[in-house]
Amino acid sequence: MATLDLTFTPCPDGPLALPAATCAHVWQIDLEVARDAMLSASENAHAKAMRHLEKQSHYIATRSALRLILSKYVGGTPEHLPLAIARQGKPFLDMAGAPQFNVTHARGKALIAVAQVAVGIDLEFARPVRQLDRLVENYFARAEEKALTALPDDQRAQAFLAAWTRKEACLKATGEGIAGGLHRYHVTLRADEHAQLISIDGNETAASAWTLHAFRAFGGGQAAICAEAPTLALQGFAL
């Protein structure tokens, strides 16, 4: 199936073993559900300085969920886990043997991927895309532009969003972020194709070190996960 239907089972009580090297755990979190805040002192200060109340509440909910989830794998008090930020902005857990992870949030929902290898995740909800042609010209690989142009008009916005989500998941996996160049990552985009990273800078061998999956989340959400593994099984949990 081109887009996976992941099952999200309720959060298990107690500690969790790290996923196997060719598996990622995907956590889905509804940020509107009230939960205990579990922030570090600096995150608390950051949250307090936020003026936009909804953004503040989503920040607190996402960070608290992240800390709670990570503590299930590595133990310790969620508030005291040593979260750090790499040069290009990707958060990581600064301790030996820690899993790698990545976070995405949109419209009051969040997904967190946990793996033993580099991992990136992205979530987008269907929306009208303004200036689609310009975005495609600036951010898509030429082969993607060709594939998109060949589609009937009524399938293009959906395929654009699918590709965008997949490309962002790749750039978040490497830690480069969007600044790394969306056009360098050539992905599949048609609804009848499996999600796949075809090439990086035209290099198919480099791309084969990564696995990309597309899956549905929160009903209407389109999500993609990319990890540095030749194959990748997914296991879903709901917090």
**177 near ligand COA, judged by CB under 6 A:** yes
Whether the CB-CB separation of 105 and 62 falls below 8 Å is answered with: yes
Give the containing element (helix H, strand E) for 149: helix 142-149
Q: Shortest gap between Cβ of 166 and ligand COA (angstroms)?
A: 12
228 binds ligand COA (CB under 6 A): no
- CA pair distance 141, 202, nearest whole angstrom: 9
- Residue ranges in 127-146 that form contacts with ligand COA under rule CB under 6 A: none
Please list every residue from 18 through 77 that binds ligand COA, using CB under 6 A: 62
107 makes contact with ligand COA (CB under 6 A)? no
- Residue least distant from ligand COA (Cβ): 177
Instruction: Pick the binder of ligand COA from 13, 179, 192, 219 (CB under 6 A).
Output: 179
The yes or no reply on residue 230 touching ligand COA (CB under 6 A) is no
Selected from 43, 122, 144, 228, the binder of ligand COA by CB under 6 A is: 122
Residue 153: both structure tokens together: 């008009």
Picking from 107, 100, 138, the residue whose alpha carbon sits closest to that of residue 225 is 100
CA 88 to chain centre: 16
Binding ligand COA (rule: CB under 6 A), the pick from 20, 126, 150, 178 is 178
Residue 172 contacts ligand COA per CB under 6 A: yes
Nearest residue (CB) to ligand COA, 8 versus 125? 125
Question: By CB under 6 A, which span of 27-35, 39-47, 101-109, 210-218 interacts with ligand COA?
Answer: 101-109
As given in the structure block, the two tokens for residue 237 are: 């949990």
Binding residue (CB under 6 A) for ligand COA from 26, 43, 99, 168: 168
List CB contacts of 120: < 8 A, sequence separation 6 or more: 102, 113, 168, 169, 170, 171, 172, 173, 174, 175, 225, 226, 227
Which among 1, 228, 195, 199 has a CA at the least distance from the CA of 102?
A: 228
Pairwise CA distance, residues 179 & 182, whole Å:
8
**Which tokens go with 156?**
């293009």
Which chain residues interact with ligand COA by CB under 6 A? 62, 88-91, 102-105, 120, 122, 168, 172, 175, 177-179
